[in-house]
Amino acid sequence: MKSLVTDFKNWCQTEIPARPLRALRNAFAAIWLVYDLIDLTTGQTAKNAFILGMNLDPNWLKSSQVITILCEVGILLGWQSRWFLLGACVSRAWLGTIYSLNDFLYFTVVALLLAQADCDAGVEMTPRWPRDLLLLQTTWMYFCSSLLKMNPDFLSGGDLYARGNYVARALPFFYPKFYVSWLGHMSFDSALAWTAVAIELLLAILLLLLTCRFHNRGLRNLILVLTLAVHIFAAYAYNVFFFGASLIAQVYFLTLSRAEE
């Protein structure tokens, strides 16, 4: 027991270079700043909430979005960014309790964990434990995502068939005819579904290895290739861009942090 307490204290006190986490913080803020500006000007969240029958006060929604945007700008300025991260976390968490969107819940957790790392301009070293928790959070996301997809509806290709064809019809200029034709075959959709599940499960395993102190360039390169593959496909097939871009940045800079440690 004493050994475990000592190991825990050492873990909390160990420091790593701050630069990769600073870059992750800035990339995270920039990606979601663009998202929130678009969402505020187009009113997409308000429209979706109305369609789903949610009682979401538009004035409160806009206030929450403006607060989040101001916090994201503050994060990018690089001064007292931990407080701006906490502000963005609280603002987005409040909205997430009303409009439970996965993107909002993800934003809340990452902002909270990043707020624990001191990586403002001029800071050379920062505690290691927030980075490790971010790696574990990323691992858990890919594991849960692959586990939830292990059901007949998804593995049969039905989900991809329905959503893929819907997006292709909504944005016909974005999808070539051969791709739309392939989506019409359930065998093709099922093969893509099984591939997606396999990649996400493999990513979870590899990230866990990385978190457990096993690291080399080949492992990092494989993780980056798989991350790009799964999120570029998801963005193209499901029209999910900002969430994917944020996770790509998260995996890139977290694995870079492990490489520079």
Residue 180: CA atoms inside 13 Å, Cβ hemisphere, count? 13
Residue 49: the pLDDT is: 67
Give, in degrees to the nearest 5, the angle at Cα 89 between 86 and 95: 145
Residue 114: the pLDDT is: 96
Residue 178: CA atoms inside 13 Å, Cβ hemisphere, count? 0
Provide mean pLDDT across the span 148-155.
89
Residue 32: the pLDDT is: 96
Question: pLDDT by residue (tens digit) across 45-99?
Answer: 777 766 666 666 777 788 889 999 999 999 999 888 999 999 999 999 988 777 7
Residue found by looking up tokens 């097939």 in the block: 237
Give, in degrees to the nearest 5, the angle at Cα 16 between 22 and 24: 20
Percent helix, strand and coil across the chain, each to the nearest 5: 80, 0, 20
Question: pLDDT by residue (tens digit) across 204-219?
Answer: 999 999 888 777 788 9
pTM for this predicted structure? 0.90
Residue 2: the pLDDT is: 63
Question: pLDDT by residue (tens digit) across 15-27?
Answer: 899 999 999 999 9
Residue 173: the pLDDT is: 65
CB 204 within 8 A of CB 198: no
Instruction: State the chain's mean pLDDT as an integer.
Output: 86
The least confident of 38-47, 102-111, 143-152 is 38-47
